[in-house]
Each structure stands twice: as structure tokens, then as C-alpha cells.
Amino acid sequence: MAAYTSQTEDKLFNLLPAVLRERDAEAGFPLRALLSIMEGQVDALEADIEQLGRNAFVETCEPWAIPYIGALVGTTPLSSDARVQDAATAEALFADLEGPSFVPPVGLRSRTDTLKTVYYRRRKSTLPMLEELARDVTGWAAHAVEFFERLVWAQWVRNRLRMQALATPDLRSVERMDRIDGPFDQTCRTIDVRPPSQFEGWENIPNIGFFLWRLRALELPQITARRVAGPADFRFHASVLGNDAPMFSRLRREGDETGLATELHVPQPIRPARFFQDLTDYFARPLPRPGLTAFYGAPAGMGGLPPHPEASFFIAVDGAAVPPDDIRCRRLDPWAQPGPNEVAIDIARGRIALGDNRVPAGAVEVWYHMGWPGELGSGSYQRTAWLMADTVVADRLFVDATGDPGTHPTLAAALAQWVADGRRNAIIRIRDNRTYADAITLNIDGAAGRFLAIEAEDGFRPHLRPDQPIRIQGANPDFTLTLGGLLIESTVDIPGSLGRLRLIHSTLVPGGSIALPDPDAPAPAPSPPPPSIRAAAQLAGAPANTELRIEMAFSITGQIRVPATAEGIFALDSIIDGGGTPAIRGLGPAAASPGPALHLERTTLRGEVLARQIDMATEVIFDGVVEVERQQTGCIRFSYVAPVSRTPRRYRCQPGLAERAEIARAEAASGPLSAAERDAIRARVRVQMRPDYTSEAYGDPGYLQLALTGPAEIAQGAEDGSEMGAWCHLKQPQREANLRRKLEEYLPFGLDPGIIFVT
């Protein structure tokens, strides 16, 4: 159906003769109101007919049509993101956000698989095709290896001589030795006849290994490097939080001339030996050198250096680009200052040391990549759906360093403007990655507006580092504060009375800060970490925060201290890390101070939880004892609950589910068991059935990522077979299962695949 008019509003009404429209205006527009109802139905019919045409093509069809198109080309059905229904609660809580969907990209790429089915079959069984298939199906970086190429061969020198199959490795090459037991290993082995798995059975004639990288390389452009505390002013951390963290290589889509990925194409920590070799190769080039290396290079328009869009990192001092001729690969533990004009980089720790002539009067800016499991917490990834909607009526204030009219140079200036305007409804949007040390104190008492949103522009990750907690003063139970896309190295203190505190794709650094202390100063005395969020129970002798709702989505915080009289804590796809203290409780003594009611979905909580009640907890990891006052209401389902917890009823929760299954197996084999025998089985299962993480320290690339050696009952214990906890939305078990299913179709007969996770 062709569009019945080119106008966008009152389309049917404007087709009427002018005399009828004039008479309708005299009567108060009843005819226009009637036609507007008809117009809505015509628009819906026209859109449906137009979509029917799009549904004939896999590139533009709706998700439900993908299996039907796949059946036409005979593709193997896969788990797809069309079945992911994790956003219903978010849509109800955050109705004022852009939307329309709050489901993150999960890497279940049935559309891509269907689109490229014929393409795959034309190149079937070739190694580059299998590697590309692994990338497309899983959404992870991949590298395929024919393990028979790594076997030691008895060679005939008159025939084909295979130099890579020599029995003696090159011990003089530090870079080659550093690759041993990795995906790009070039040393040769004797045969291993065990089935290929994560840690063994690789080197065999029929084996093909698929190395996969679960971590992402999150791009952080123009970050302000963190100066190390102490008198020496040449020491910096690439991380704005002042912690040690490896620099990652950028993900590059295409492979080398053979069509296979190399170390330059996968997101992983840059190996110091490889970076040293990269600089060595650069210095071996004849003058004038090109001004870029495989890993190091400038963004466009930086200091006259040639642009290098595929570079993994770059450094500028006081706005001046540092050329690769002055870069040195060093180990900076302990710290050591390089030559006068040199810049030393510890690539494994993210440390930067400047020579005397490079010590800045201003700032050191870094473009680099950090490792992270997914789109959770603050980050420079795309999150358009989670911004305040353009239809929300509010003042809009912008913060950046451009100096353009209508922008503010600091967050403090924007907040001052908000106060000067009468504290009306406002959205403050930060449009860069700078560090803001502005103090944030909000007085909401008597504010003209009902909400204030401080959020980062899509694709940015600003760093807030106030020297004191963010304070929300005054009593206004109808007021809402939204923090979106922010990395906050501080805490939130609510001595007043607030209505709602919303954290959306934000991070309140657990413990307040993870910056390393001055290495030359005495070690500070250990102290308990402060709460990330603390709300007062009383204000001027009256109850406070009785209507407070803490709403979190894809966010990270430390411990939360909220009175039991608050309305509740709602956490979706989030992490609450107590750091050795209770994750959630009230304000009094730990033994007698429960927190408010909880609604938790796909969340990881580290530390004890004391709550008034749990209305709902689904696919949650309670990595500490849970104590709930009202056990007769609510439920916990498909979750891990620490033993000896007191909770509402549970459904298919671990380790209880595994305990009952193990007792049933033992009784089926040997008859009824005594109470002591049952207790012994429970104790054994509880030791085995505990969450195991790649790292428990915030700031590490694999923070609270479930370890490969952990129990499968937790890694696949969610309702849809994905993992429990905060990273449930990544759907990693389904992605692995999709790859195995496709390899059955495309792998040559007689070959055995081995799926090996590198990160």
C-alpha cells in the first residue's frame, strides 16, 4: 500500500476540503478526533503490510521469521535472542528511558547464521571458514588450530620439509617461549590421545581446536591517567581508578593473509614479550620511520602522526602526542624512571613512567582498551536505550570540554545552573571521558522539579571523583535522582529523605576506591570499606526514607545500608559486592538490623544479606548467608543460596537441589541412609557446589566471571540454561552449545573439535 499522504499529523483530516475543516473547527474539531482514530488504524495496517515485505528477507525480517527462512536453506536451528525475555521488569521500572528494548546484545546470532548459510557451504571444511563460523555463531573472538600441525614429525629431507615440526624449540626466542600452551604456540609436541578438552588432549591428528575469548576489549578513548600518590611525579596508571590492570589488544575483525586470526586480531592482554618485539621491529626499520607500530598508534588528527584506527593504545602528555620512537617496554614493578625523553610502559600492569623531560604540567591522556566480560557497569559501549527519553519534559544541560555556547566545562557548573534555574526537572548529560573532581551536594528540599538525571552520553564513561561522598540533603519523598553511565569513585550518602535513587549502567566502586597507595610510604592500616549507598533512618526526629526505592540495572556497587522501613531494593543484572562485609543490611548492629524488601533478578551478591523480606529472587548468586525476617512471603528460584540461610521457599536452587539428588542416588544404590550419612553427603556437596570466579577483585578483567573449573550446576543453572548471577544475560552456555551444533554440520568427517576458552 502506498502512503496515502506525505504529511505526518492529521493525515486523513488534511485530505478533506477546506470548507469541511473550517466547519469542524467551528464545532471544536469532533470530525478531526474521529479521523485521528481511523488514522491510527490505517497507519498500523500500512506498517503491517510493509513489514510483510521485509519479512521475506533475513536481513530485515522480524525475529519470529528467522527459523522459517532458515528452513528454506536447511540451516540447523540455534538458540536465538528472540527467546531472551529478561527486560519486562526493566520496562516497568524505567518507563521514562529511551527504549524500546532493554535486552542487551547477547551474541546469539541466529540471523547471521541463517544469512551466511550458503556462504559457509561454499567454503565448507576449510580452516578459515570454520574459524569465521565460530566467530559468527558465538559472537566471541576465535582462532582455529589444526593440532596435527603441532606434532613432531619424522621428516624426509628430500620431500616436503616442515620447519615448524622440528622437535627442538627455539629457546633463544623469549617471544616464542612466552606463547607456550597458548592459542598461538609454535612449539611441537608428542601425541596426546585423550579427547580434546579445556586443559588436555590437544595434540592429536584428528583434533581441531577452537580457541575462544570470552572477555571483551572495551575501548576507553582519551582517559585521564591517574597519577600515583607520592612525591615522585613521573608515575601514572592508565586506569583512572589508580589500580594495576593489563592493557588489552583491540579486536580486529579480519584475519591475516591466510584468513586466520593472529594475536593482533583478538581481545586479550598484550603480552610484554610481544609488545617488546613490536617495538624492536619498529626500531629496526630505516629512517624515517612510519610513526606507528602494530599495537601503538595515534587517533586521527593527533600531533601530526599518521592515524592508526586499529591501534590498541596511545599516549599524549599535556596534549602533545608521544611518538612510538620514545616508547619503551619496561617492567615497572618496582617503579623506575626511564631516560629524559622516554615514556616507559608496563603493558601487563597498565603502568606509565615518564622521563624528566616528559613530566607533565597538566594531564597525561591515554587511549587504550581494558578487558571486561560484558556490558555491565559503566562503560563506553552503546546504551542508547538506557538514556532519558527525548520526550521527557526537562531542562537539558550539557557538560564537556569543547567550550561551545550552551555547554558547561564542569559538572559543578551544570549543578550550579540547575540550582539557579530553581531546581526544575533537569537532565545533565556528560559528553566526554574526563575525570571530574567536583563535589556533589544536592539539596532537594522544596525543589521545583521532581527529578534530576546525571548521565553520560552514549559511548562515553566519565569518571566522578569527588573528595567527599555525594550527599542528598533535604526531605522530598517525591524526588528521583538518576545516575546513568557513570564511574563513581565515591559513595552516596542520603542524610535527607529521598523518593528514588536509580543506578543505570553505573558503577559505585566497591569500597569507595581501589587506588594503590604510595609505594614509598608505609602501608596504611586496614579499615572496613565504607558503604556505597547509605540512607538515614531518621531526619529531625522523624522517620526518613520510608518511600525510598533503590533501583539498579546493569550496575555495580559496594555494600548497601538502607533502613528496613524503606520501600525496597530492586536490582536487575547487577553486582552488589560487600568486600568482606554484609552486602545488604540495615543501619544498626549487623545481628539485628535487616534491610528493606528485595527484588533481585540475575544479580550477584557477595557477602551476607539481611533483609526484611525477599519478594522475588531469580537467577541470583547469594555468595553469603541470607537472613530474612518474613519467610512466609516471596520466593527464590534458579539461584545459589549459601548453606544455613533462612529464606522464603526455594525452587530449583543450589546446593539444595544437588544435595537432594545425591542423597536420592545414594539411597537408590544402597537403601535408606542414616541422618549422619545424609549430613556427610550434604557437607561434601556443599564444598563442591560453590561459586568459583576468575577474579574476586573489582578492577580485574575477569571480575566475578564464573571460572571454567566451577560447578556446571551454577554455570548452567538459570531458568533457560545460562549461568546464574550478574553475567546471566551473556547466555554463554547457549553460545557454546550453538557452536557445537554447527560444528557437527560443517566439520569434516572424522575430526574432533576441542572448544578452549582463553579468557
Per-position b or e across 485-509, b if 16+ CB within 10 A of its CB? bbbbbbbbbbbbbbbbbbbbbbbbb
Question: Side chain identity at 404, as an amino acid letter?
Answer: D
720 is a domain residue: no
Range from 88-102, 209-223, 647-661, 668-682 carrying the lowest mean pLDDT: 88-102
Q: When comparing pLDDT for 123 and 609, which is higher?
A: 609
647 is a domain residue: yes
Cβ 107 vs Cβ 712: under 8 Å = no
Q: Give the model's confidence band at 80: pLDDT under 50 very low, under 70 low, under 90 confident, else very high.
A: low
Which of 664, 688, 712 is at the close of a domain? 688
Residue 673's pLDDT is what?
87
Spatial CB neighbours of 519, under 8 Å, sequence gap ≥ 6: 228, 230, 334, 335
- Measured CA to CA, the distance from residue 243 to residue 517 in angstroms comes to 9
533 is a domain residue: yes
Q: Give the model's confidence band at 108: pLDDT under 50 very low, under 70 low, under 90 confident, else very high.
A: low
Would the pLDDT of 2 be above 60? no
One domain for residues 666 and 576: no
- The closest of 100, 104, 101, 96 to 390, measured between CA atoms, is 96
One domain for residues 57 and 19: yes
Which of 637, 653, 669 is at the close of a domain? 653
pLDDT tens for 505-558 read 999 999 999 998 888 777 777 788 899 999 999 888 888 999 999 999 999 999
One domain for residues 671 and 604: no
User: 235 has which bridge partners?
Assistant: 353
- Measured CA to CA, the distance from residue 435 to residue 427 in angstroms comes to 19
Question: Side chain identity at 191, as an amino acid letter?
Answer: I
Which helix (H) or strand (E) segment is 141 a member of?
A: strand 141-146
Q: Give the model's confidence band at 1: pLDDT under 50 very low, under 70 low, under 90 confident, else very high.
A: very low
| CA quadruple 640, 563, 477, 620: dihedral, nearest 10 | 0
* Average pLDDT, integer, range 719-726: 92
Cβ 472 vs Cβ 481: under 8 Å = yes
One domain for residues 260 and 311: yes
Helix (H, G, I), strand (E, B) or coil at 39: helix
8 is a domain residue: no
One domain for residues 434 and 489: yes
Residue corresponding to grid cell 563506553: 380
One domain for residues 598 and 660: no
Spatial CB neighbours of 624, under 8 Å, sequence gap ≥ 6: 578, 582, 583, 605, 606, 607, 608, 609, 642
- The closest of 729, 732, 733, 759 to 377, measured between CA atoms, is 729
One domain for residues 625 and 670: no
Residue 81's pLDDT is what?
61
Residue range of the domain that includes 677: 655-688
Residue 551: CB atoms within 10 A of its CB come to 22
Phi and psi at residue 420, to the nearest 5°: -65, -30
Residue 411 DSSP class? H
One domain for residues 458 and 606: yes
One domain for residues 630 and 673: no
* Average pLDDT, integer, range 37-57: 84
One domain for residues 624 and 661: no
Cβ 686 vs Cβ 680: under 8 Å = no
Helix (H, G, I), strand (E, B) or coil at 529: coil
Range from 11-15, 125-129, 402-406, 700-704 carrying the lowest mean pLDDT: 11-15
544 is a domain residue: yes
User: 587 has which bridge partners?
Assistant: none
Residue 148 DSSP class? G
One domain for residues 599 and 669: no
- Measured CA to CA, the distance from residue 509 to residue 514 in angstroms comes to 8
One domain for residues 340 and 470: no
pLDDT tens for 446-461 read 888 899 999 999 999 9
Residue 16's pLDDT is what?
83
Question: Side chain identity at 371, as an amino acid letter?
Answer: G
Q: Are strands 364-372 and 216-224 parallel, antiparallel or unpaired?
A: antiparallel
Write down the pTM of the prediction. 0.89
Which of 635, 653, 671 is at the close of a domain? 653
Provide the domain count of the chain: 4
144 is a domain residue: no
Question: Side chain identity at 248, as an amino acid letter?
Answer: F
119 is a domain residue: no
- Measured CA to CA, the distance from residue 315 to residue 335 in angstroms comes to 19
The overall average pLDDT reported for the chain is 88
Cβ 532 vs Cβ 539: under 8 Å = no
Which helix (H) or strand (E) segment is 615 a member of?
A: strand 614-618
Q: Give the model's confidence band at 412: pLDDT under 50 very low, under 70 low, under 90 confident, else very high.
A: very high
Residue 63 DSSP class? G
Would the pLDDT of 353 be above 90? yes
Residue 162's pLDDT is what?
66
- The closest of 441, 485, 486, 455 to 392, measured between CA atoms, is 455
Phi and psi at residue 411, to the nearest 5°: -65, -35
Would the pLDDT of 658 be above 80? yes
Would the pLDDT of 330 be above 90? yes
Helix (H, G, I), strand (E, B) or coil at 356: helix
125 is a domain residue: no
